[in-house]
Chain A
Amino acid sequence: MTSPALEVTGLRKVFRVAEPASGFAARLKALFSPTWREVVAVKDIDLRVEEGELIAFIGPNGAGKSTTIKMLTGILHPTAGQVRVLGVVPWEQRSELARRIGTVFGQRSQLWYHLPPRDTFELLSHVYEISRADYRQRVGDLVERFEIGEFYDIPVRKLSLGQRMRCELVASLLHRPRVLFLDEPTIGLDVLARARVRDLLLELNRQEGITTFLTSHEADDIEEICRRVVIVNRGEMVLDIPVKELKHRFLQVKVIDLRLRELADPPAVEGVRILKKKGHGLKLEVDTTAVPIERALSELFKTLSIADIVVSDPPLEEIIGAIYTGEQSVNPPIGTCAVRAELVEAPAGDALRQAQGELEPERHGD
């Protein structure tokens, strides 16, 4: 059995925060003897990521994602727990680890703003002590794969966000990292640029087997890049599941878009409700826990003259959003299961077990 790229056991981080004092005397006193409050940012996270995995690590703002990434990259010391990234303890061997991991922080550039990307790449080749021959071969390969040749010699300040992000990725890959930490790499990019970055990351994973650890608020990124998703909330890991399964397990609703030949009202079927009705267009939502999709469709075909039909899942972002906010379902009026509500409210262990199917979700509403 090969050793994992990341192995995390009981990871915990507690910050001490000075309580703000009110009034001059209290503030003066607090300067010398502050009152401390403990904030648990990360609660006992267990995680194992195999080499070459593409994993999304997501959660709402303040969930503990950044703190976890900082511990995995050696920036922060944990309060408790064990971490091994590529076999090393990050905060003890930070410099050694730095040569084996790559990082892209969507909101912080590592490129020199007034100079062409070429200059930053050249600098990084020295920083990572890459031999000249290896650097020339590597940068040539990456420039070609990421198609940045046409703006390789143009100052970074003149590049579009998408072009810049491709250069950021090249910069993070020059030293052939084995693990890539991507913190919102598509933030601010337009649809086309996002798709391009996603394609490149997938291609990179296929060709070089780089383990990719991604945080993003973009559901498309998660769905299209990652095979597995870990959701954290309030410092706890609430879900660790394949992306495909996330949809199936948490999606008990389907959306049906119909184009009718003749105007008519849909039949009353339990678990089916109208979302939108305009002219010959009709949009319905089916709660598959109340009625199987086949039966709902068959009822519709019996009474309606249908010119066109599309059956789809609600977008992934709705599922994730519901998990974050603790809503009872992706579409609350119909109600599907209680898992999402308890993902946030219940202790991490229960929530995780429940999410992974050990506890039966209960029906709400109807």
Chain B
Amino acid sequence: MRSLAKYFAIARISARSSSTYLADLAGRTGFFILILFILSRVWDKLLGAGTVEGLKQRDLVWYLVFTESLLLAVPPFEQNIEEEVRSGSVAYLMIRPVHYLGHHLAAFLGEVSVRLSLNLLVGAPFALLLGGPPPAPPAGIPWALVATLLGLTLHFHLLACLALIAFWLEETRPFFWIYQKLLFTAGGLMIPMEFFPGWLRTVLDHLPFSSVLYAPARLGVRYDPALAFGLIARQALWLGVFVALSHAIYRRAATQLQVNGG
């Protein structure tokens, strides 16, 4: 229990620290509103009163609020990991009685909680104004929250895998760039999976990207127990894969660091 308490403490201090950047957060929020406004007008023009796979314009506005809130809530923590690897300070964090990746995950979730709350606080009235009341019934909220936590944790481990490559490669930015673009397209940042043709959706369903943004946003828009179970099971599966992979990479990197100084 004490062991878990230390990670909660890290998350708490990270949340408190991130709330000191109010000017930075306000700047991001302005950008967030602009994106929401433009895309909500696009959906309005494209869909009007129609639906796609049961999703109405109102659903899509709320979907956008959720995906954009999530994406813009993510701090550039991978740059910190990369910097720690390059500068060698990763070694100094290893002599604390706390797991290196666990430390970063806790700090990540702490910071995300502040940013995400702020984004939703700003985005929700905007969606109310442009789309109407939230479509998901209260029964869907716990599922959406679980999917959000799983999606963010998966996102963390995906990025951690890429950041830890810095142990072996000089330049890792292209990997982040590719991942970000895949998240935008195959992850359903602006377009839900329902809008993709059947064969393409099947392919994308077998990739981890939609588990990051689409799954939590989709469950935030419409609650369907079968869909919720399917999406969360897939998230859990991918999370298992990337937790194992990131820890394997970290162990390998740590061994290399211990044996050969990084």
Binding site for B on A (CB under 8 A): 15-16, 41, 67, 70, 73-77, 91, 94-95, 97-99, 101, 103, 105, 108, 112-115, 119-120, 122-123, 126-129, 155
The reply to whether B95 and A103 contact each other, CB–CB distance below 8 Å, is yes
B138 lies within 8 A of chain A by Cβ: no
Chain B contacts for A119, CB-based, 8 A: 13, 16-17
Q: Roughly how many angstroms separate A114 CA and B98 CA in the complex, as a whole number?
A: 22
CB under 8 Å from chain A, chain B span 1-48: 2-3, 5-6, 8-10, 12-13, 16-17, 20-21
Q: How far is the CA of A97 from the CA of B10 in the complex (A)?
A: 21
Interface segment, one of B123-131, B188-196, B254-262: B254-262
> Is there contact, CB below 8 Å, between A108 and B6?
no
Contact present for A126 and B97 (CB under 8 Å): no
Known: A75-B258, A112-B17, A115-B20. A127 touches B9 (CB 8 A): yes
CB-based A-B contact count at 8 angstroms: 77
Q: Choose the segment among B86-94, B149-157, B173-181 that binds chain A (4+ C-beta atoms closer than 8 Å).
A: B86-94
Interface size class of B (residues with CB under 8 A): 20 to 34
Shortest C-beta distance, B165 to chain A (Å), equals 15
Docked CA distance A123–B97 (Å): 12
Tell me, in angstroms, the Cα distance from A54 to B96 when the chains sit together.
23
Show 15 residue pairs from A and B whose CB-CB distance is below 8 angstroms, ordered by the A residue: A15-B260, A67-B261, A74-B95, A75-B258, A77-B258, A98-B96, A119-B13, A123-B9, A123-B12, A126-B6, A126-B10, A127-B97, A129-B6, A129-B97, A155-B20
Q: A115 to B16, Cβ gap below 8 A?
A: yes
Of the candidates A16, A98, A115, the one whose C-beta lies within 8 Å of that of B95 is A98
Q: Chain A residues near B94: list those with CB within 8 A.
A: 74-75, 94
Main secondary structure of the interface of B (DSSP, over half): helix
Q: How far, in whole Å, are A267 and B240 apart by their CA atoms in the complex?
A: 86
Query: Once bound together, how far apart are the Cα atoms of A67 and B258, in whole Å?
Result: 11
A105 and B92 contacting across the interface, CB-CB below 8 Å: yes
- What's the least CB distance linking A309 to chain B, in Å? 50
Residues in B neighbouring A113, C-beta threshold 8 A: 17
List chain A residues, Cβ under 8 A from B257.
75-76
Name which residue of chain A comes closest to B89, CB basis: A108
